[in-house]
Every structure is written in structure tokens, then in C-alpha cells.
Homo-oligomer: A and B are copies of this chain.
Amino acid sequence: MKIEEKDKLILITNDDGLYAGGIRTLIDIMQEFGKLVVISATESRSAMSQALTVKQPLRVKLLEENDNRRIYACSGTPADGVKLAVNQLLERKPDLIVSGINHGSNASASILYSGTMAAALEGCLYKITSVGFSLNSYSSSADFSGCGEYIRKVCSLLLREPLPDGVCLNVNFPDLPASEIKGMVVARQAMGSWQEEFEKRKDPAGKTYYWLTGNFINHEPDAKDTDEWAIQNGYVSVVPVTTDMTAYNYIDTLKSKF
């Protein structure tokens, strides 16, 4: 693949692995916008958050190359993949990093555990305009047909008007066909968390082990300006996300205590 100056260079990744339907949909759509470099694991790396591989070496393999795209398999996490691509694999800084489409919502507190959004945050730390897309369905055969229109809209905007330093986007889709999606809304992250999170079992040797499981609880179900409300009510949510986790509204109170 030859990248000319006029070409937009787009880095694509996800945390469900290269064989997931979500990233395949995203590759098809993003080909309309420029030259693609795709990097991800061959297996799913869900719930990896912004974990990095520091105790083991990383391996990368070029799986496929044509005039429009290169696809790499990477042994690491989504954040590793972005770091490797930006530092070692790309000819130049990409114009856009697009992560997803995740099989499962990354609205509300799920952003904190999300490998998909970690890749976008990683791009953000490199001052590259970045966006994560997620569909509110964990099914491996999820229907992404409603996503295309909004992905085109968001990515057209981002390629025309890059985001400011320190901000990326978290876009979540309701699990609905295109005809039933009511539109796209800019929202804030809902306050919520996961509850009832372990199944205690015995292995064949009689030893106890635990499986993580649970249900998401929206702590503010009536607030209509949140991402969780949006996707539960038929809208696509777009949350601007910051890498700055400072609780600014608590700084003065905390100063008064010490």
C-alpha cells in the first residue's frame, strides 16, 4: 500500500479481535475515507481497559496487504496495538484512529473497563483525533446495519475538524435496525456500575473458582442527558471524553480539609 500526501491515513483497531463482525463492518465503511492500517489481536481482548504488556515482548504479523489497506495481528492489548502502530508501523501520524465496532455497550462506567475506548484514549494521548464505536449487543452475530450512517457522519466531521488535544469520542449505538434509530445525541457519561458480579463454582477436583458476571445498574435512570438513557431510548449517543480524570469540582473542598 502506497500512502500519498493527499490520502487520509486511518488506523483501525478493536478489542474483539480481527475476526469480529464489528471490525469487519468498520473496515468496509472506513475504506470510503482513506488508506487503512488495521491492527488487532487474533483473539478477543475484552475488558482489558488501558492495560499494557510490560512483562512480555510483543509480536506483530502483517496478515494482508493491498492497495487500500494493511492488516496486522498483534499479540498485545488494544492500547499496545495503538502504541506499536504509531511508533513502529505507520509511515506517518494517522489522521484518525477508529476503534470498534465493539460487541457490547461502552456507555456509562463501562468506559473504564473498555479496551475499545482505551485505544481511543491512547490515540488521544498522542494528540491524534480518535473515536470508539460500540453497539449495545454482546452477540457475535450482532446486526451492525444501523451503524453505518452515523459512523460516516462522525468520521466525516472528525476528518474535516479534528478534536482538540485531550478529547476523544465515545459513540454507542442502540441494538436496533437503522429504521428504528431515532437519531444521534451528544450526551454525558451516566453514573452507573455493575452489580452481583461472581458465580462461585467447584472445579472437577472440588476446588472453588469464580466467574465474573453481573448486571449493569444505571444510578440515574431518569436523567435524559446521559449516554445510557440515549441508547436505551433508541438514540445513538456521542460523549466527548477526556484523559484528565481530575475531579475539579472537589479540589476546593479537598484543599479546605488539609
Q: Residues of A at under 8 Å CB distance from B?
A: 44, 46-55, 57-60, 77, 79-80, 83-84, 87-88, 109, 111-113, 118, 121, 125-126, 153, 157, 161, 163-167, 169-170, 184, 186, 188-189, 191, 193-194, 196-198, 200-201, 203, 207-212, 238-248, 250-251, 254-255, 257-258
Let me know if A238 and B258 touch, CB within 8 A: yes
Docked-complex contact A254 and B241, CB < 8 angstroms: no
User: Pick the contact of A167 from B201, B239, B247 — CB < 8 Å?
Assistant: B247
Task: With both chains docked as a complex, state the minimum distance between the C-beta of A203 and any C-beta of chain B, in angstroms.
Answer: 8
Q: Is there contact, CB below 8 Å, between A243 and B109?
A: yes
Chain B, residue nearest A60 (CB): B210
Total copies of the chain: 2
**Please, could you name 6 A-B residue pairs with CB atoms under 8 Å apart, sorted by A?**
A59-B207, A83-B198, A88-B210, A170-B245, A238-B254, A240-B250
**Residues of chain B within 8 A of A47, CB atoms compared:** 51-54
Question: Are A189 and B246 touching (Cβ within 8 A)?
Answer: yes
Q: Which residues of B contact A197 (CB under 8 A)?
A: 83, 87
Would A51 and B246 count as touching, CB distance under 8 A? no
